[in-house]
Structure 1
Amino acid sequence: MTLPQMEKPSRVMGLLKTALDFEKLERLEFSGLRGNALSQQVQQMHEEFEEMYKVFMECPYDCLDLQSMVMSPQEFENDVREFNKRVEDLDRRLATVLIQAFDDTPDVEHAFKLFDIAGPLLERPLVAQDVSHKYLALIRMFSRDLDAVRLLYSQRIQEEAEHGFSPVHKNMPTMAGGIRWAQELRQRIQGPFSNFTLITHPYERRLYEDWCQTVSEKSQYSLSLPLLHRDPNTKQLSVNFSPQLISVLKEMSYLQPTEVKLIPETAASMFSSREFYRQLVANLELMANWYNKVMKTLLEVEFPLVEEELQNIDLRLRAAEETLSWKTEGAWDYAMQLTNSIRDLEQRIQKAKDNVEEIQNIMKAWVSPIFKRKDGKKECPLSLDDQQDRKEKYYGLIRESGVKIHALVQENLVLFAADPASSVWKTYVNYIDSMLLDGFFLAIECSLKYLLENTEYKAGITPIFEAQLSLVPPELVFHPSLDSGVKGGLYDIVESLLGSIFAVPSLVPRLSPHSDSPHYQGELEDMADLASLRSMLMERMQKVMTLCCSYRNTFSQYSYLYVEDRKEILGQFLLYGHVLTPEEIEAHAEDGIPESPPLLHHFKVQIDSYETLYAEVVSLEPTKVFDGWMQVDVRPFKAALLNTIKKWSLMFKQHLVDYVTN
């Protein structure tokens, strides 16, 4: 089979390298017991090689002339095959000679000299394979030398400890001689040790040569790849800088300067431009991350606002995904321009998102009850005195928030470079609009639930509403009134509180100019959930007001004390000896009631009845709580009633003082 045309020059190069290697055999000599015999064997191998090499010198074709080689390709191939076969035999014999010479070396120093004179012959593959185990023997020899040096050092230290001195070179003083001895001992170690750095192990050489053979091809292929790669499923971008290129640059950064000079030109050129690639990859990574972030975080309502801009960017990205490679001139300028465009878009979108997040944070401050218990204490009732101040403070917060929200939406209009009359912008504004509706819903719900939670009949709750029961003859009245339909009554007050709560959305003008309503109140009042909460609260108010009024009616038994005329009653008592009942008056309507002036004990009975009644009223509870959250303060009524009873008792006592004598 004829060799391919491109393989012939490499075969010729191999022949020349082999010739140069074996040319060194002529000057190779060995010492030691078998030095002469080994030298003769080497000379014999050199002569044999010269005879083998003459074949190519006397051949009818010219090895360096490709045209001549075409005329006799088979003959050249046969000669090369036979030559390599005989060279392999010489390599094996040479390895045997070198091993024998190594075994004859008396110490590490001579072993290193042997490796030094053998030189490139040790790098021949078959020779290196057979001789490689002697490197371990060399290390053992050096280890034995180290042990010997350590023993010498220990002996000298022991002598100095025992005798106070140790031998030095002739005619040298003690201190200088000791230093010279230490220097010579150190040199005995450092000399061989430094030689180890000059040895290249076959494994190391093979590993490096194998890497050099593939690095150029891998680098060329990887550098020809496009700058960017787009995932077909997720559409996400990634920098298409091959891991092989990263590996090459990393490997080369660890190589010694002498080794870097031997690598292929393509890889060397790439390594010299490593800073350029590092910066280019870093910029492309930033660009890809920003682009991917935009595509991942862009909301459905935001996408139409930047769709055209994204299409232009994708069009420019196509070159980096298809044609622009790491070897293309101008890749840096292209990457920087595109990176700046994507960075600008990402920053504007992120700022718009930050503005929306700020709107949401603003609305979080709304979720707080407008009306609370006095001083925020759990045991205090709802503060009705400062409700106007609390309402105005809360309203001020909402108005201020509304102004800021409108400003943020206008800023987003600029950031998206949108047309305010376009449908996509109106859709976006509706999105923010719905967000505000949710915010107002939560704000109103918070205030309603606060009132509902504090008007729920459950253990541990304290009254949140309070009314005072007062005596305003001839009636008992609540302050505020607990009767239905009374203006300024408790029901009316709670209705007013709810009206103030539901009026909150009217304080912010509608974001969407095309909406029918100028604000948000109407939509929130129509929401079934809020209406249900409102209705539930008012039902509770109606129920508890009924309970309170029923409780008030239980005091009707005392109504005669503040309804009847005291002078008239005293007159009846003085005429008939007792207070006439309605039944008694009706029974004697025609013939009249016979007079029976009271005696002293009659006065005593009447006065004692008032004292008993007084004690009964004193024992009445000062407050009454209904359903755990509605408190009636009975103390004003109780005080007035006790005062009235005292007046009745005093009236009879005063009559005795004024008109009765012993």
Structure 2
Amino acid sequence: DILSTAQECSIYESIELGGIDAVELQNILQKVIRDFKSAYALFRGLTDDITNEYNAEFPNAYKTFRKIVFTGDERVATILRRFLQPCYSHAKTANIDNIYRASRIIPNYSSTAWLLSMPKLISHYRWVNQLRQRVNSQIEPLRTIDIKIEDNECYKRILEQERNIQMRLDNFIENLNQQWIDLFQNGSLLHLNEPILRKVNEYYTVNIKPELATALHEVMRLYQIPNLILSPEIEEFYQQIDRFQQQFIDLDYITKSYRHIYDNVSLIEYPLIREELATIANDLDKASTIITLNIDTDPTDFIRRLRTTIHDFEARFFKSKSNLDDIQKILQTYLKTALYSRGETRQDPLLIVYEKENKVLKRNNELRDAGLRLQDILKQSKWLLKADADADIWKAYVDYVDEMIIESLYEIIDYNLNYLLEESDSTLNKRPLFEVELILDDLDLRFNPTLEFGSANGLYDIVDTLIGNIFRQAAMIPRLAEHSGQKHYQNDLEGMKALNDRRLKIMERLRDTMKEANDWKEDVNEYAYLWLDDRKEHMRQFLLYGRALEENEIENRELIIETPPSLVQFQNQIDLFQSIYSDIDSWNQTFLFNSWLRVDARPIKRQLLNLVNKWINLYKNYLIDHVTVSLNELELFIKHASDMLQRQVRSDDLKSLIEMMTFLSQVRTRQEYTDDMAEPIKDIIELLKSYAYEVPQTIYAMLDELPEKWIIIKKMAAKMKQYIAPLQANQIVNIRNQIIDMEKKQQEIRERFLRDAPFTYDTKEPYVGKIIENNLFF
């Protein structure tokens, strides 16, 4: 039992938590691990024989071990509850099964067991979905089968059974939904009328009933189930879940803060905080007696006000308890620590500016805290000295402390500026300090960050902001000498000539270096045609005229003679871009200016090489497509021709005869082109092979087979032509006879109409008479 327990508890060492409360929860988990190791280590120190019935060391150690293990399990359960409680969805809890499998806490844990751990309605609904999937997996193959079995009695019986099952499952879920809704309305909603806090001895705890916590969890899980109809009360309850969640968090914070204050207050401090503590206690008493979570009476404002009050009181109270050091020791922390420094993770670390906002925010918060601590020390000193704030002797003491702070801040800013000057001095430093990228962005070649003067978020603006943040450190500490009329120390330090001279020198070096980098960018801009020219239009002009047209030729292109390009011209264009590719590929990865500004050329180099490849592939792909399309078209035509020429044409089938004559005309039309297409295609393939293009074996096979098949098609066409020649002659005779018969019939109808025409100028009854008697024209 001891060894198996030790093996299971060892899993806790591999658990890592994240989120807002991660630090606190991780500390609790580490304490559980330490307690377990201490209990387990007791067995190593046993010196007597554990089989001796009179030896009580082992039973006592075992009892202690079991007690610590059970306590640790409860703490781990609490950690998991707090960690998963803020989840508004099933996103985190959905993977618990996989977590248990990976950690082997529950071996052979099946999906059925997972359903048993869910709320009843959700588990039943998921079970019904699984059952429906199983039924559908058996029915769908029958519905998609090619054989017509719709009239089969067995098939109809199976479908009827499937419909009955689906109907029963629907009724089952509907009844279960109604039972859960009735139970929820009669049970869970009633707990909202109980006080939000519960008093235990001198402390307070959040009054959350297990049934209410379960209801909150189930309602959130229910809304993940599609097509589920819930009552209006539950809908209204669901709309309040976010509020409940925030209120529980606030209440948890309030109760813990109050316990923290109550446990740490001393007899000396208690009279000082008695009035505020009593006010807070009164509010907590209200929360434990009359304030509820009822939806109609929203206690959010009360909870927020109470949290704000206790938060402010707790912060002030524990600051007053802090035993702070003197002023010089507080500021010494920043004397030899640059606000911006090189990284330590790379061989050529740059100045860390990508984290400048976080670093400045962190440093400013640290200095603000230091300023508050300085004020607290001063107030504490006044209290210790029982000084009068209006006395001149106290003001002189404050002025002396003020001068100490100015000297310390001068050393801090001076150290930071000297650091930048030394690192940007090409005679002292050969490592880059800043880095920018040259990129192609939306057809615009630019640096990232930009090196344009006066541009927001450019390198010049970044460096100016860095220096401004260095000086702005002095503004984070409030002025201790309030009678001086100054709020902080920044104005005093900005007026010092030595610091301003260093600032101007840094910016002058930056301007010179930016100019050199911009000159190099103009050289790269010579390749602008690679991304500005339209490749489709370029290829269209190349295919029409064998070259790209000049701007003045585009307006008069109708006057230019179309001369399709030869294969040699394709080769020249590919070779031209191949040479451009080699030139760009030979560039260095980075370029260094004045030894401290590095330009990362990898992005623009990669982009230009990709563009050149697109230009090369533009010509290659055209040749490849030409070969592939030509051979595939010929292969399809040969296959179609083979089918057509094997048809039997009867003498009385005029339609088949016309189709065959049309197809023979198509064979004769493409005969000249097809007879001469093999050699040009072979030349194109040889050219592509010279550029390391691997021609598919199917192309070679088609080049070997198609010419022979084409010869066979031509022979078959010649035989067919001879075969249908007599049929053509017979059809010509038939057509002539039909024309003669048609002319005779037209003549008869004309004579009959002239003789028996029903409509004349003196006809009174045109629809009676000869028309009816002779059935004329009907």
Q: Same fold (TM over 0.5)?
A: no
TM-score w.r.t. length of structure 2: 0.37
The TM-score, its normalising length taken from structure 1, stands at 0.43
Larger Rg: 1
Relative contact order, higher structure (CA 8 A, sep 6+)? 1
